[in-house]
Amino acid sequence: MTSEGASVVALSGIRKEFTGQVALDDVSLAVQAGQVHALVGTNGSGKSTLVKVLAGVYSPERGSVLIDGQQVPHLTPARATELGLRFIHQDPALFPQQTVRDNISIGSRYRGSRGVRVDERRERDAARRALSAIGVDDVSPDVRLGALSQSQRTMVAVARAVQDLQGGQRIRLLVLDEPTASLPEHEAERVYGVIRDVAAQGIGVVYISHDLSPLLALADHVTVLRDGKLVASRSSSGLDEAALAQLMVGEEVQRATSSTSRPGEVVLSCRGLRGGRLQPTSLEVRGGEIVGVAGLLGSGRSTLLRLIAGSQPTDGGEVLVSGRRVPPGKPAAAIAAGIAYVPEDRRAQAAFPNLTLRENITGAALSAFRGPLRIDERAERAAVRALLDEFDVKPRDTEKQFRFLSGGNQQKAIIARCARLAPEVLLLDEPTQGVDVRARAQIHEAIKRLAARGTAVLVVSSDFGEVLDLSDRVLVLRQGGIKTTIADPATAQEQHVHHLAGTA
């Protein structure tokens, strides 16, 4: 669908530095009207930074932004909006406590233009129109955003970004920075549908994702960044997933080796555990064993992990670690019992954005470094540096503030923190969401290494291919209970899991 002629939006020779680090080095990008332009690269390669330059959030040290071939000297976020550029950033600024209607109207003309009073009816109608323009009819404008599923929230973010389509304002460009990172396949399809519709209206789309296969199906053109530099910009036709991964990484991507650990004694056992969505559930995980949990949204998969981790109150049943009962509903008790937990929404729940990478990694395990009087900082730094190496967290700067790490590197850092605890039980909810192909393989290796040291691992993922790849055994959850167990995931088909879990 690429049209000829001048690009609607272009970046030329962009350089962006952060203290002591070059995030973008001479990067150019040109988006045509109606084009779906994929922007790919490993974690930390500079994608979100480039998007923020385009949004006027960062001003580059060098290079220029061109709209319809005209240079825009001092781009600000307000100017970008006026020029018809719309963004869904990697951390979309949505407000869970507010209604869908409020979230869509923030920044729109219905707000503020009439003083303190808000015209609710107009707002509601506008929200409804914005949603239905992108084919969403199952979301009420008056419901609280926090009550929606991930995919519905993503749709609200999309609706907010493209709402002016009906208002007569010309929208030139829609940029989506990993909108589907935590969406299961069939939910992500909805977002792909919207992207196709938007492009069909002549709007340029820049799309960022680590999910390479749907990305290739969607994109007309692909631009690849590596370490802040442009390595390729070409048509997507004739490009397959392996070739694209190789362009991103610069070498062939190795798959994780298969698990070598031999399961030992039962370490984790749940007996009749129930609470929230979860019906009474019993299961056992041995030391060295990786047990996958496959299930759809709402199947109780995350509830299961939360109950074991003590971060949600139980309604009954018990959790034992190496035969010892763990007091329920208390995260601290679970940690003391040797349970490490990586929640789904880890950036919000498990990280301290304003502290350093080092503090984020050691925070939970500080006591190990406490000498008689004070923390041995040298030892702490060395230990953290070793972990950054092991998990390939970039940059290798222990003193960098956590919030300045790229999305994927934040994930790796949190998993590194768990590894430091050498836990008896490791609970992982969506361990590779939003991480690149290489990081994904590295995280899989890391999980297997932990298992090989005797940790009992329970891992939830909506990517059933990943569950099968990683696990020694897979529990299929459906409507709050274990429906069946797949004893030999290596030979099972992804399609079969979908069938058992309740789709396709």
Ligand X SMILES: Nc1ncnc2c1ncn2[C@@H]1O[C@H](COP(=O)(O)OP(=O)(O)OP(=O)(O)O)[C@@H](O)[C@H]1O
Residues 8-37 that bind ligand X (CB under 6 A): 18, 21, 23
Q: What is the 3-state secondary structure (H, E, C) of 248-268?
A: HHCCCCCCCCCCCCCCCCEEE
Q: Which stretch binds ligand X (CB under 6 A): 38-46, 183-191, 248-256, 486-494?
A: 38-46
Instruction: Report the C-alpha gap between 267 and 272 in whole angstroms.
Output: 17
Q: Interface with ligand X includes 41 (CB under 6 A)?
A: yes
Q: Smaller CB distance to ligand X: residue 25 or 164?
A: 25
**Sheet harboring 221-226: ordered strands across?**
85-88, 173-177, 204-208, 36-40, 221-226, 229-235
Alpha-helical regions (H) of 393-434 = 407-420
User: If contact means CB under 5 to 8 A according to the sort of partner, which of ligand X, Mg ion, none does residue 43 touch?
Assistant: ligand X
- Under a CB-based contact definition with an 8 Å cutoff, are residues 111 and 104 in contact? no
Residues 407-426 that bind Mg ion (CB under 5 A): 407
Of 35, 90, 299, 411, the residue at the interface with Mg ion (CB under 5 A) is 90
Q: Interface with ligand X includes 57 (CB under 6 A)?
A: no
The count of chain residues that interact with Mg ion, using the rule CB under 5 A, is 4
Q: Interface with Mg ion includes 182 (CB under 5 A)?
A: no
Instruction: Report the C-alpha gap between 405 and 403 in whole angstroms.
Output: 6
Q: C-beta of 379: minimal distance to ligand X in Å?
A: 25
- Under a CB-based contact definition with an 8 Å cutoff, are residues 471 and 464 in contact? no
Residues 374-433 that bind ligand X (CB under 6 A): 394-395, 404-409
Instruction: Report the C-alpha gap between 405 and 351 in whole angstroms.
Output: 12
Query: What 8-state DSSP symbol labels residue 363?
Result: G
Q: C-beta of 264: minimal distance to Mg ion in Å?
A: 39
Q: C-beta of 394: minimal distance to ligand X in Å?
A: 6
Give how far the C-alpha of residue 7 lies from the chain's centroid of Cα atoms, to the nearest Å: 30
Where do we find the tokens 């920044």? 107
First-to-last alpha carbon distance for the chain, in angstroms, is: 31
| Strand 9-18 relative to strand 36-40, pairing | unpaired
Could you give the string, one character per residue 81-120, with x where binding to ligand X holds by CB under 6 A and - elsewhere?
---------x------------------------------
Of 32, 49, 152, 269, the residue at the interface with ligand X (CB under 6 A) is 49
Q: Interface with Mg ion includes 60 (CB under 5 A)?
A: no
Q: Smaller CB distance to Mg ion: residue 42 or 461?
A: 42
Q: Smaller CB distance to ligand X: residue 86 or 394?
A: 394
* 3-class secondary structure, 153: helix
**Interface residue list for Mg ion (CB under 5 A):** 47-48, 90, 407
Q: Which residues lie near ligand X (CB under 6 A)? A: 18, 21, 23, 41, 43-49, 90, 394-395, 404-409, 436
